[in-house]
Amino acid sequence: NINQYSNIINIEWNNIQTIEKLDYGDSNYYLLVTFFNENKNIINKVLLKTSSTIAQEVYASVLENILKLPIPAMRLLDFSMDEYFDMSRNLLNCSTNDQGLNEFIKYEILDKSFILVMEYRENGKRFNELNHKEYFSGKKGEKKYRQLGRIMAFELFCNSFFRASPSNWDENTFFSNLIFYESPSKNGWYFSLINSNIICLSNSIFTSVYRDHINKIKLFLFSIFQNPNSESTQLKLMKDHLNKYLNIYLTSSSSVYIQKGIAKGIKSMVKSLSLPILEDTKEKLKGIVKMDNNNIWKKGIDSIYCPFLLDVLDEIALEYSTNYREKTYFVK
């Protein structure tokens, strides 16, 4: 009798039965921790994750939650908590028979001050593990493409081509953030976002690098909105890249569905995000940790430059107001 529910709140760390290291690409490693009861039945599974940019990841996840994007439930542990030490002790005790895993836990996970405890959903696949033709076929395929477009819209907003240009997105960049499922969640999503991040330029608006990123976003959206029912140049470049380097062939109609999803994602951001929300989220996150050795958390939060995010949002809103409203059929 296996309980598939992943409970991240009331965790009995002394009931750990197995620990598995998962590689989700782009140097993102997670621990899948399974808990048994006294009858040796699985009662819980959670993911543990940490990184050098964990503060930025938490910020991005808060915005994703506002936009109702598919993120797993999660909570933050910091090393000042009693639970952090309870977790650490049991993780090390349960991995003593696997030296490689034990050293990974000790030197890659527990040397960090902050750890995310994340909900785990069974039967997920990475992008390069899919049978892409089968996965994106039929009516369900159309819905999946639209959902993918909504996620892409947020990627454009929060990472602005820093991870990679859409024409070069692959399993090590944008798609490393996604876990794919055959069946939808209770909210209808076929994906889960597990590697969110946010990267912001903090230099002057007058610098060439700053304007270059803004102009790339503008060009991308202009390309999509010019002829929304035809494959845009930018999406064709992405499709050609996947075909050439990963042997993944997507049809031109898939690009149109993705574009419709991007438009819907843009509409949601324009409606739901603003400078006060961006700044208020940043301010609230500054105080959620009790101890911050070496100002790791503070430096991460301080790196989030809201004026740049606002400029990106303004460009998105401009495209929305000048093109989107004239083509409302585009996102039906």
How far apart, in Å, are the Cα atoms of 263 and each of 46, 199, 215, 268, 319? Answer: 34, 22, 18, 9, 10
Say yes or no: 37 and 87 in one domain: yes
Is residue 58 a part of any domain in this protein? no
Q: Which H or E run contains 77? A: strand 74-78
Same-domain status, 20 and 155: no
Provide the number of structural domains found in the chain. 2
Residues 76-135 pLDDT 10s: 999 999 999 999 999 999 999 999 999 999 998 999 999 999 999 999 998 888 888 889
Q: Does residue 132 share a domain with residue 115?
A: no
Radius of gyration of the chain (CA): 21
Averaged pLDDT for residues 266-283: 94
The mean pLDDT value of the chain amounts to 86
For residues 158 and 296, membership in a common domain is answered with: yes
CATH code for the domain of 164 = 1.10.1070.11
Task: Say if residue 156 is in the same domain as residue 100.
Answer: no
Domain boundary among 119, 144, 179: 119
Show the domain range for 78.
13-49+73-119
Q: Do 54 and 267 contact (CB within 8 A), yes or no?
A: no
Report pLDDT for 319: 79
In a shared domain, residues 104 and 178:
no
Instruction: Specify the pLDDT at position 164.
Output: 62
Task: Report yes or no on 65 lying in a domain.
Answer: no
Is pLDDT of 28 > 80? Answer: no
Is 60 inside a domain boundary?
no
Q: Is residue 330's pLDDT more than 60? A: no
Q: What is the pLDDT of residue 3?
A: 41
Q: Are residues 162 and 195 in the same domain?
A: yes
Q: What is the pTM of this model?
A: 0.90
At which of 101, 119, 137 does a domain end? 119
Nearest CA among 253, 201, 199, 211 for reference residue 231: 253
User: Are residues 256 and 202 part of one domain?
Assistant: yes
Residue with tokens 């700044």: 279
- Same domain? 115 vs 134: no
Q: Other CB atoms closer than 10 Å to residue 89's CB: what's the count? A: 13
Distance of CA 303 to the CA centre of its chain: 18
Do 115 and 160 lie in a common domain? no
Which runs of consecutive H residues, i.e. helices, occur in the chain? 54-66, 82-93, 99-104, 132-135, 138-159, 208-226, 233-246, 252-272, 275-286, 296-302, 306-319
Question: Do 107 and 173 share a domain, yes or no?
Answer: no
Domain check: are 205 and 240 in the same one? yes
Residues 110 and 64: their CA atoms lie apart, in Å, by 27
* Residues 129 and 176: beta-carbon distance below 8 Å: no
In-domain check, residue 1: no
SS3 content of the chain, % helix, strand, coil (to 5): 55, 15, 35
